[in-house]
Amino acid sequence: MNLWFTEKQTKAFGITAKVKNVLHTETTPFQQLDMIETEEFGNMLLLDGMVMTSERDEFVYHEMIAHVPLFTHPHPKKVLVVGGGDGGTVKQVLKHPSVEKVVQVEIDAKVVEYSKMFLPEIASAYDDDRAELIIGDGFMHILNSENEYDIILIDSTEPVGPAANLFTKGFYAGIFKALKEDGIFVAQTDNPWFKADLIRNAIKDTREYFSVTRLYTCNIPTYPSGMWTFTLGSKRHDPIAVSKDTITDVDSSYYTADIHHASFVLPKFVQDLL
């Protein structure tokens, strides 16, 4: 078989991977879902033709969206994950012994179903007693919550289709209300090479509600440009002020105490976006 998958990241640039096998393809009520087996990155989840996760590099995204805020908060007990149907973020959150409950709201049940089938290592935490899965609208869940969560993680796709509402100014106001008085949220905010305006807007909107607003980065080879950003908003705790001594050992392949702080050191062109 000489089959290749290409994600067109802009009209003139893309990333391509050789496909060994097409595992599943389906148009769900919300999006086009494909599971493919690639030679370089193993099994890969695609939504609307965009790479969501792969077996080989998933740990980078999931560790960085989870561990940075969870080690910034002194004692996170209740965590909300919006999206993230592959289960990888929930898996990382549950590595923190202080977490008593993680609620995940995923709009598309098919993402969960086929992640369990074809990405079982990533989706391995769904059976944990501390995890609660809600199939529903994360936007509405947050708007109906108040003073409930220590940490909120927005593990969404790009701002198209069912994820479009997760990048609006009103959503940040809802997050602020849903968080406890010292709560923290993190949202994936795409890459600075192709989505500079998205990052500018996310930072601007976050600053309107949160006294501590930070952007941090990591390297994910299957995501557009390879450089990925997360926007963190905190009511009280600053991730840069976290002492390395308070970051305990965690089962990780990317995140470390040094990476925690180094991820906030931004290249000049990224600083200029802010």
Annotated binding residues for spermidine: 62, 86, 155-158
Token pair for 178:
């849903």
Compute the Cα dihedral for 98, 101, 104, 110 and give only its sign: positive
Bridge partners, 82 (sequence order): 105, 154
Give strand ranges (E) for the chain: 3-10, 13-27, 32-38, 42-47, 50-54, 78-83, 101-106, 131-135, 149-155, 179-188, 212-219, 227-234
Catalytically annotated residue among 108, 150, 155, 205: 155
As a whole number of angstroms, the distance between CA 125 and CA 90 comes to 7
Angle at 10 between CA 268 and CA 113, to 5 degrees: 105
Distance between CA 20 and CA 38 in Å, rounded?
5
Residues annotated in a binding site for S-methyl-5'-thioadenosine? 31, 106, 137-138, 162
Q: Is 155 a catalytic residue?
A: yes
CB-CB contact of 153 with 89 (8 Å): yes
Q: Are the beta carbons of 80 and 105 closer than 8 angstroms?
A: yes
Which pair of tokens denotes residue 174? 């809802």
Q: Any idea which residues carry the catalytic annotation?
A: 155
